Structure 1
Amino acid sequence: MNNLHDLHRPLGSTGLLVSPLGLGTVKLGRDQGVKYPNGFTIPDDSAARQLLNLARELGINLIDTAPAYGNSEERLGPLLRGQRQDWVIVSKVGEEFENGQSRFDFTAKHTRFSVERSLKRLQTEVIDLVLVHSDGNDLAILRDGGVYQTLAELKREGKIRGFGLSGKTVEGGLLALEQGDCAMVTYNLNEQQERPVLDYAASHGKGILLKKALASGHVCLEPGVDPVRASFELIFAHPAVTSAIVGTINPLHLTHNVSTAASVIRELS
């Protein structure tokens, strides 16, 4: 069994069941200002559709996008038409990417505008999870921005099912989990500073999504060690980790990631 179909798990207390790997879609919409070791070409609709179909066949049901990912959301709307019930969609608020530059807006007004726009682009009535795309000032954003209160309102209105923070600090991650459903944190073989956020989530029934789980392809190990397996052995050993987002557009890499994750999770259970 080298797929993830029977390994879906609850994302905290959101009621969402997600695959232990999610598909990140920055490469479907943006090729400027992204930190990957190798250049890439944004796949056309046919290649993107094949990638999504493969992900679904492999048991992935979690898809991660954002307004800051170029035209990723606009592309996913038509690509996922007729399949909405098969996917748990994560999007973001707070970061805009225009003319090769990021800018940030965490006001209540922009948060509402951004979520309404994402609903239209994704051609859906509800977004499963919306994360605040932090610029690094996690605590200030959560305390002063109005963004979290607005996301709580949108959840009550039924436009989103859950919310949280894609942050950069331990303090931000902890506050995000206290007041929200989920945190997206960096945790990999190179960087484990945010581990206290994972520990808090494990003891409080909150969801954790990992970004850069494979260190965006930068991880270095001794010869003969599979970096993907070593990464998954670290992250899935932590009970809080619900799902890790992998951003590959290479079908072979995706298949290898899934079979490795499935085998590691089965060995750990």
Structure 2
Amino acid sequence: MLKRPLGNTGFQLGPIGFGAFKIGRNAKIKYPRPYDLPSDEEVANLLDGLIDLGIEHFDTAPAYGISEQRVGNWLSGRDAPVVVSTKVGELFEDGESRYVFDEASVRASVANSLRLLRRDVLDIVLIHTPHDDVAVLKETPVVQTLQSLKEAGDIRAIGLSGKTPQAATMALDWADLLMVEFSAEDAAHAAVIEEAARREIGVLVKKGLASGHLPADQAIPFVLNQTGVTSLVVGGLNLKHMADNLRIAEAALSQESL
């Protein structure tokens, strides 16, 4: 599989990453249809199948219910070359989301992610923001706390998973990578993505299929052919759909290289 560098992080990622929301949470969701959480066996089969396809980036978060725990349980029994990204800032407890960006909470979140994912070092940690992401960056110590944890060796790469181009632009001054919303329906981050490429800062794209509202055969090439994008993170529980997405992605990149 063709892999591309994630900025200067040292990670090489394939064109499609796996968004692990649906293996951990099915309450207060934004998806149009409800779904049952898969069993432990179904999760293991799904993750095994993703590795067999060559998908080796799993994106999770504390806000994704039991997702981190399930990814960690699966990793504990396998020697798989997986890059795992997780997040700080948003928590989902007792059926409600809340946001905490103070130093103690961020440090506790990273420590808990290390425990749940059963890792000595976290590959990637992103700031998981609400809509007022600019205020989070300006008014809280979350950036400085993540920088300190990276310097201490707890994290390899840090960045922002925000909402607005303004916050993403601010993050270019300190981030190793960005995770941004970008699709044929919403290209507001295009200029930030291009600037990140100039600075050799990695870019992961979320919601590239507009939560399922765009056809994959059009949406995926649009995202991956944008200069600066390393990979598109796609969620789901259907291994065939993930295989189809990967096939479309590889065809788009093959066409681009001609």
State the TM-score bracket (shorter-chain normalisation). over 0.9
Aligned Cα root-mean-square deviation (Å): 1.1
1:37 to 23, 32, 40: 32
* 1:257 equivalent in structure 2: 245
What is the alpha-carbon distance in structure 2 between the residues aligned to residue 250 and residue 112 of structure 1?
34
Please tell me whether the aligned partners of residues 90 and 129 of structure 1 are also in contact (alpha carbons under 8 angstroms).
yes
CA displacement at 1:43 relative to structure 2: 0.9
1:23 and 1:64 in contact (8 A); partners too: yes
2:17 paired residue number: 22
The answer on whether the counterparts of 1:20 and 1:242 sit within 8 Å (CA) in structure 2 is yes
Helix, strand or coil at the partner of 1:128: strand
Partner of 1:109: 104
User: For 2:244 and 2:175, how far apart are their aligned partners in 1?
Assistant: 33
TM-score by length of 2: 0.97
Structure 1 runs, 4 residues or longer, greater than 2 Å off: 82-85
Q: Which structure 2 residues correspond to residues 1-269 of structure 1 after superposition, within 5 A?
A: 6-83=1-78, 85-219=80-214, 227-269=215-257
Residue 112 of structure 1 aligns to which amino acid in structure 2? R
Structure 1: which 5+ runs fail to align? 1-5, 220-226
Contact map agreement 2:221 2:248 (CA 8 A) in 1: no
- The question of whether the paired residues in 2 share the 8 Å contact of 1:209 and 1:243 is answered with yes
Cα shift at 1:172:
0.3
Task: Give structure 2 stretches of 5+ with no counterpart.
Answer: none
Q: What is the rounded CA distance, in whole Å, between the counterparts of 1:144 and 1:125 in structure 2?
A: 30
| TM-score (normalised: structure 1) | 0.93
SS at match of 1:239: coil
Identity %: 40
Structure 1: which amino acid aligns with 2:226? H
